[in-house]
Structure 1
């Protein structure tokens, strides 16, 4: 048996489980792992020198593939640099298989280089963490490694999805000798797990439909969710034929149907919410962006709240959950409509829920769209809000829009159905600014669609190491809002009034994206006023190479425009 044969076989087991992409950060202790995958013809290899960027690039790839991506790094702090991406993947339920090389256990805390406590390094932010032995001579050790790798691979494919970690202590020597061939074992045991689809029993459906009939005001709300035509079709039927209001943040990717509600972030702070409180609330998806919507439901709890989720955690964002229903949203809403529709057909009756409830939501939504349109039409200066609006109106149908956290995601969410033509992504698992550039890069490396990233200057600068890889994907275009700092703190009532605002919260700076673009051979555009912005925007959108458009805005004017929108809506309500 070759010295590190179990690690060579590890790569083959991953391949047998359908994994095809591996993101590798260079290192010495990880050499055996790197070579096992590098010399395997079945994998597409991506080399990223910065582990923090590598983690998010892998996340963006897995997000598009809907399949696990493998990460490989050396020992020590390299493994810790994956942590932001691992936590984001955990809360977004995106599958990664993380392979961290390590020193043998006996060398921990013995002043040996690149040696830290790596076992369970990601804590509760992985589905499971494994450690394999560093000595492979005994048959039981090789059996344990095979079993462990199979179990880890199975977990990456099991719902709820998420990252899985294998810590791999490796003894020297870990480089092959000159001319040594690396090949997989003749017979590798691959363990399969038969997946089953979660469904509800006849009795459970009977109880749910009886409960449905007891409520007049029923509301369906979607949190962050991948674009899903089946799901949207089912929701549209429920909304149109059963008179049920259906709403979602921009990240819910509810699109293609005029009945979907999208402006709740605009009107809920101003509308008469007494008549909007639901009797039955049905939610699905991950986190909600709209603070106004969360506060509305917390202050106006439903009598019953059903959350559709295959998550193992009980999520109670609105302080009202009464039922967690562990099935997919597509399955639930397709079956819900079919069963209610059949029941109404057999009875020869119309829906008994209050149709005026949906009309109230629609009325508020339509009024918000009109008032928002009036306000935007009255703005002539270039600021963050106007530039985001003009950008979104110019993007091609079906394009992907990746959005950084802080203000960019809030601007987009306020624009309602103006973004319904697009497929929306954002790292809202932990809602950090780190990794948004790298995530978009990873996504663009996989999809053939045009990918646009809307990002603030601080988030762009924070993650520019993602742009060190070569080649960069030409279908990616990056739109940078440069207001010289963290402009969101000027929008928040607390820090906005403090004398320390600029130095300790906004962290004002004079950096731009120009030098980064030059270093990475990215076509660069810039604009500082409405005229120059309108001149360069078409060129930015039409170039067939990766490009950056940096828009320079005034943080004071941005705050005026954003707060002015809220005031305008209130005055015209």
Structure 2
């Protein structure tokens, strides 16, 4: 109602506001509404890669890059303390962002969601509004009068720029996250990117930098895990106007290799970027990784398979490419318009080590930016 909307407007009168946009099934509608509200309030936007608000924002909206790395240091969490949080969508992918919100539990925290499921597992919300988020944010944008302070916005711009500068300075050492940087920047405007569960969606959240052109990002999350990624990518691609790029790991490829049968029945084209590190890289983030040799055999589960045979079985070309070659090869594969697999071989242990190292490097740069 108008009275409820007026009450919300009053609660959002803040100079240190932030918008958190989590994954959303209606990302194409919610994303633009987030931008409209952000433009009206000047609130920085922490946009999950699956939110619809990460890619394509207008120039006057500040979508923060690499916030997962920015928010990891404890001192940064306190220095970037908000006075109000506005959140839409499901819980964000980033654990650092979840920890940041929990660290500021008690700060006015508005969640707007029309779904039937409670989307505040961290119990951070001080007000939960059951309403259509796109409609609500659009209406709020037309009524809010106060905007974030220039100093607050400048702080977020400074840390975002520092993070990107630090990461770009380290670009000479290829790592798995760079695959997602390349994929998200190479998909043509209006095209689609599908990311697998496990590390691809997390690496996209960290290393997929905001861009001015709109792209559509999809992913399978939840109990399904890595099952059905190839099949879902083909299904989504069949309903999309632009080309589809799908980034997945070797275990996801192996688990749904029968999904490649789609290629024999339909001319829908998907370019698969296969990150082959011979096992489950995400498990190196867990304490169990210290317990060798059982960790490798039972948890990381290296398979030792040459997955080119699975592609060949279905008449699909597979090309091995390095990370430095990927931008050119991916652009060529998308332009060809046929289903192709580009395999990027990586090392699980080295990739994990590099992620930890980059987080430390970015953390130091962010601290300097906030001095």
Structure 1 and Structure 2 fold alike (TM over 0.5): yes
**Who is 2:203 aligned against?**
411
**Who is 2:83 aligned against?**
279
Deviation of 1:436 after TM superposition, in Å, equals 1.3
**Who is 2:302 aligned against?**
508
CA distance in 1, matches of 2:58, 2:361: 28
**Who is 1:267 aligned against?**
70
Is this contact kept in 2: 1:480–1:549, CA < 8 A? yes
Q: Deviation string for 1:217-253 (max 9, x for gaps)?
A: 3221110125756644443343334322222111112
Pick closer, same or farther for the CA change 1:545–1:296 going to 2, 3 Å.
same
**Who is 1:324 aligned against?**
128
Q: Give runs of aligned pairs for residues 348-387 of structure 1, distance below 5 A.
A: 351=146, 354-376=149-171, 378-379=172-173, 381=174, 383-387=175-179
**Who is 2:340 aligned against?**
547
Considering only aligned residues, what root-mean-square deviation do their CA atoms show, in Å? Answer: 2.4
Pick closer, same or farther for the CA change 1:521–1:560 going to 2, 3 Å.
same
Q: Deviation string for 1:519-552 (max 9, x for gaps)?
A: 211122123x457657744543332211111122
**Who is 2:216 aligned against?**
423
CA distance in 2, matches of 1:293, 1:442: 31
Match of 1:253 among 38, 43, 52: 52
Q: Deviation string for 1:380-434 (max 9, x for gaps)?
A: x5x4233333343333222111000111111111124256642111112436111
Is this contact kept in 2: 1:482–1:550, CA < 8 A? yes
1:225 aligns with 2:24: yes
CA distance in 2, matches of 1:370, 1:388: 17
Is this contact kept in 2: 1:444–1:451, CA < 8 A? yes
**Higher mean Cα deviation, 326-335 or 290-299?**
326-335
Is this contact kept in 2: 1:314–1:324, CA < 8 A? no
**Who is 2:240 aligned against?**
447
Q: Give runs of aligned pairs for residues 152-163 of structure 1, distance below 5 A.
A: none
CA distance in 2, matches of 1:541, 1:355: 41
Q: Deviation string for 1:440-465 (max 9, x for gaps)?
A: 01111222320111000001100112
Is this contact kept in 2: 1:400–1:425, CA < 8 A? yes
CA distance in 1, matches of 2:9, 2:37: 14
Structure 1 gaps, min length 5: 1-200, 345-350
Pick closer, same or farther for the CA change 1:226–1:570 going to 2, 3 Å.
same
**Who is 2:188 aligned against?**
396
Is this contact kept in 2: 1:468–1:520, CA < 8 A? yes
SS in 2 for 1:439: helix
SS in 1 for 2:359: helix
**Who is 2:5 aligned against?**
205
**Who is 1:102 aligned against?**
none
CA distance in 1, matches of 2:329, 2:134: 42
CA distance in 2, matches of 1:304, 1:535: 47
Is this contact kept in 2: 1:250–1:419, CA < 8 A? no
Pick closer, same or farther for the CA change 1:426–1:221 going to 2, 3 Å.
same
CA distance in 2, matches of 1:514, 1:472: 21
CA distance in 2, matches of 1:431, 1:293: 23
**Higher mean Cα deviation, 542-551 or 220-229?**
220-229
Is this contact kept in 1: 2:184–2:208, CA < 8 A? no
Deviation of 1:354 after TM superposition, in Å, equals 3.9
**Who is 1:520 aligned against?**
314
| Higher RCO, 1 vs 2 (CA within 8 Å, ≥6 residues apart) | 2
Is this contact kept in 2: 1:247–1:261, CA < 8 A? yes
CA distance in 1, matches of 2:167, 2:251: 28
Deviation of 1:257 after TM superposition, in Å, equals 2.4
TM-score (norm 1): 0.58
Aligned residues: 358
Is this contact kept in 2: 1:441–1:473, CA < 8 A? no
